[in-house]
Structure 1
Amino acid sequence: MRRREFLLGAAAVCALPGPGLAAAYPDRPVRVVVAFAAGGGTDLIGRTVAQRLQAVLGQPFVVENRGGAGGNIGTDLIAKAPADGYSLLLGYSSNFVISPFLYDDLAYKPLKDFAPISLVATATNILAAHPSLPASNLKELQAYAKANPRKAYFGTAGVGTLGHLTGELFGSVAGVEIVHAPYKGNSAALTDLLAGRVQLFAGSPAVVMEFVRNGRLKALAVASPQREPGMPEIPTFIEQGFAVEALAWFGLLAPAGTPAGVIDTLNKAVVTALDDKEVKESFAKLGYEVTTSTPAVFADFIRTDYDRWQKVIKAAGIKAE
C-alpha cells in the first residue's frame, strides 16, 4: 500500500466531528503562514491549500509569507501565536526535524509548540550516479566504496539538506565512507555531477530525472517506502537491503493548545480539500504527492522523522554553516 493510501485511510477516522467541536469555526479570516518567500514551490503549495480550505470552510484563508533563516522565523511566529485556530502554519520538514539539531539557538520546540493538523504533501529523495561510477545498484556501490574508501563523493544542495542526510544515512547503514560535497544549490551540484567531478548526487528527483531518462546519469535508489509511481523502474533503498527512508514533507499545523474541535474541523477540511485531481496534478508538477493524515498519525510521523535525523546529524557531527 502506498504512503498516500495508508495515510488517507487513517484520515477517515476524522471524518466525523469530535468532542468539543467549535460549530461556528471559522467565523472570520484565517492566517496561513508560509515560512518562505513568495513565488516558490512552497508558496504555491501553501496558496493551493489556503484556497481549497476557503472553498470548503467558507472563510478567507490568507497566506502570509514570512521568510528568513531557512524557514525558522516564520515557523517560530506560529509557535508563539494565539492558539485559537486563526493562525496556522504550512510547516516544512526541515524546520521540524533537521533545524533543531543544526542550530543551538532555535527559538521554538517543534514537538511541543505545535498541534499537528494533517500532512499535506510528501516527496522522496533519490541517489543518482555518473555513468563512470562502476555501480548500477546499491550493493555494487557498497562494494566499490569499501574497496575505495573516501573516493566516492556525493553532491547535494548544501550542508544539512535532506540530500546530505540521505547520503550520510546510507553511508552509515552500508558501513562505507562516501564523502559529502556540499554546493550552494542543486544547479551547481548537477553541473559537477554531469561533468563527472562528483560521482553521486543525493536530493530531489526533479533535479536529475531528465538526465537519468536520457542516459547521462543513472538512478541507484529512491528513499521512499515503496517505488514511486512516476518512476517505477527505480528500486527503493529498502528493497535493496538498506534501511534508508527520507521524505521531504509539508503539513498544516496550529499553535499548541488549539482546541481539539478546531483541529478536527481543519483536519476534515484538509482531507476534503486535497482529494482533488487538479490539486494532485499541480503538486505532482513540483515533485510532491498529496498525502493527508489524522492529527495523531501526523504527530507520530514528525516524531519518527525527528528521532531518525537526530541520530544521523549527531553521528555525522553536522552543524549549520
Structure 2
Amino acid sequence: MINRRTLLLATSSVLAPALLRADAVSSYPNRPVKIIVPAPPGGQSDITIRLIADGIRETLGQPFVIENRGGASGAIGIDYAAKQPADGYTLLVSVAGGLVVNPLFDSRIPFNALRDLAPVTQFGLSTNCLFVRSGLPVQSLRELVQYAKSRPGELTYASIGNGTISQIYAKLFANTAGINLLHVPFKGGSAAVQELIAGRVDMMIIDFTTGDQPMRDGLLRGLAVTGTKRWPLSAEIPTFQEQQVPLPLIGWNGLFAPKGTPQPTLKRLAEAANRMVQDQDNRDRLLKIGLIPSGTTPDEFEAIIRFDTEQWREAKKLAGAKPE
C-alpha cells in the first residue's frame, strides 16, 4: 500500500522539473542572449538586428549579443542556431533566401525552416528591382520585353550564382514575358552590379538598395519591382504586377529560435522586437537599408513561411533554375 509520504515524494519528483521549467520561462531572460547572424558584418541582416537588439535589451533587461557566423550562403550559421538548446538563449536572424529558398535547391542543406526553427517575428519585406544598364535603349518593362523579343538570346542578365534568388527572379520574368535571355552568373552581388554599371551585362534583378545609388547617379535604370507594393523610397517605379508581368514573390528578414522554444518566450521576444519595428525612427532606418517594416506574431510569421515555401517550390519548377 502506498503511504502518504511515498505519494508526496513521487508527486514532487514529477512536478519539480515542470515547475523549474515554468520558472525559467517566467523569468526569461535572466542572462545574456546570443543572436546568430549567418552572414558577415555589415549586411542587411546584421544592420537590422543590431538596430532591433538595442531596443530588445532595454525592454527585457539583458544583453543581446550579436555573433556573425557566415559561410555557405548562410547555411553554416543557420544550422548552428537550429541545433542549440530550445531555451531562448540562442536566436537566429535569417532571410527567405537562406532559410526557405536554398534548401529547396540543395538537398545537402541539413535544416528545414519549420521543422528545426520556431518563427518569432518578421522584421520586414525585402523588395527586389529589375535594373538595366543605362545605355540600353528602353524606358519601361514593356519596351524591354519588346526589345528582347526582337533579339532572342542576345540580351544578358547577371545573377549572384546559379540557383540563387537573383537567377530565379530573372528566369521567372523571362518565362512569364516569353523572352529568351542569356544568363551570366557571378560570385557576388557587388561584382555583378559593377559589370552591369560597366555595360558588360544588360540587366539584373537584385535587392533594391544594391542598385539604388547607381540608379540615382544615372548609371542604372530601374524598371520594375517585385511584390505587390511599390518601394516607398522610389515610388515612381511600378511593380512587375502593375505591368502585366506577375512576379509577386518577395524576400523578408526575420527572427527565429530553435524548435521547441516555449511559446511564452517566443511571444515575449516578438512583442519586444515589434515595439522596435513600429518605432517611426526605426521604420525610417529600416527603409534605408532595404526593408519595408512589418512585424508579426509568431503564428503569423509561421503562416507566411508555410505559404512562401510552397510559392518558392512552384517558382523553382517554373524557373528551371539549378544550383551549381
Do Structure 1 and Structure 2 share a fold, with TM-score over 0.5?
yes
Q: Tell whether the 8 Å contact from 2:168 to 2:321 is kept in structure 1 after alignment.
A: no
Instruction: From the two aligned structures, give the one with the greater helix fraction.
Output: 2
Bigger mean CA deviation after superposition, 220-229 or 192-201: 192-201
Cα offsets for 1:239-298 (capped at 9, x unmatched): 111210243321111111221111111111111122223323333332223221122221
Q: Tell whether the 8 Å contact from 1:88 to 1:254 is kept in structure 2 after alignment.
A: yes
> What is the CA-CA distance between 1:57 and the residue it aligns to?
0.9
Distance 1:39 1:215 in 2: 25
Give the 3-state SS of the residue equivalent to 2:48 in structure 1. Answer: helix
Structure 1's unaligned 5+ residue stretches are 1-19
Residue 206 of structure 1 corresponds to which residue in structure 2?
A: 209
Residue 153 of structure 1 corresponds to which residue in structure 2?
A: 156
Residue 237 of structure 1 corresponds to which residue in structure 2?
A: 240
Q: Tell whether the 8 Å contact from 1:274 to 1:280 is kept in structure 2 after alignment.
A: yes
Residue 14 of structure 1 corresponds to which residue in structure 2?
A: none
- Name the TM-score, length of structure 1 as normaliser: 0.86
> What is the CA-CA distance between 1:131 and the residue it aligns to?
4.0
Cα offsets for 1:60-81 (capped at 9, x unmatched): 2122222221211111112222
Give the letter aligned to residue 302 of structure 1: I
Distance 1:195 1:54 in 2: 44
Structure 1 residues 197, 116: CA separation in 2 closer, same or farther (over 3 Å shift)? same
Q: Does 1:193 align with 2:205?
A: no
Structure 1 residues 187, 61: CA separation in 2 closer, same or farther (over 3 Å shift)? closer
Residue 272 of structure 1 corresponds to which residue in structure 2?
A: 275
Give the letter aligned to residue 28 of structure 1: R
Match of 2:260 among 257, 262, 269: 257
Give the 3-state SS of the residue equivalent to 1:243 in structure 2. Answer: coil
**Bigger Rg, which one:** 2
> What is the CA-CA distance between 1:109 and the residue it aligns to?
1.3
Distance 1:211 1:251 in 2: 27
Structure 1 residues 130, 40: CA separation in 2 closer, same or farther (over 3 Å shift)? closer
Aligned pairs (5 A) from 1:1-321: 22-321=25-324
Bigger mean CA deviation after superposition, 208-217 or 253-262: 208-217
Bigger mean CA deviation after superposition, 269-278 or 111-120: 269-278
Give the 3-state SS of the residue equivalent to 1:37 in structure 2. Answer: coil
Give the letter aligned to residue 192 of structure 1: E
Give the letter aligned to residue 197 of structure 2: L
> What is the CA-CA distance between 1:183 and the residue it aligns to?
1.7
Structure 2's unaligned 5+ residue stretches are 1-21
Structure 1 residues 191, 84: CA separation in 2 closer, same or farther (over 3 Å shift)? closer
Q: Higher RCO, 1 or 2 (CA under 8 Å, sep at least 6)?
A: 1
**Alignment coverage as a number of residue pairs:** 302
RMSD, aligned α-carbons: 2.2
Distance 1:78 1:44 in 2: 19
Distance 2:222 2:42 in 1: 30
Distance 2:74 2:145 in 1: 35
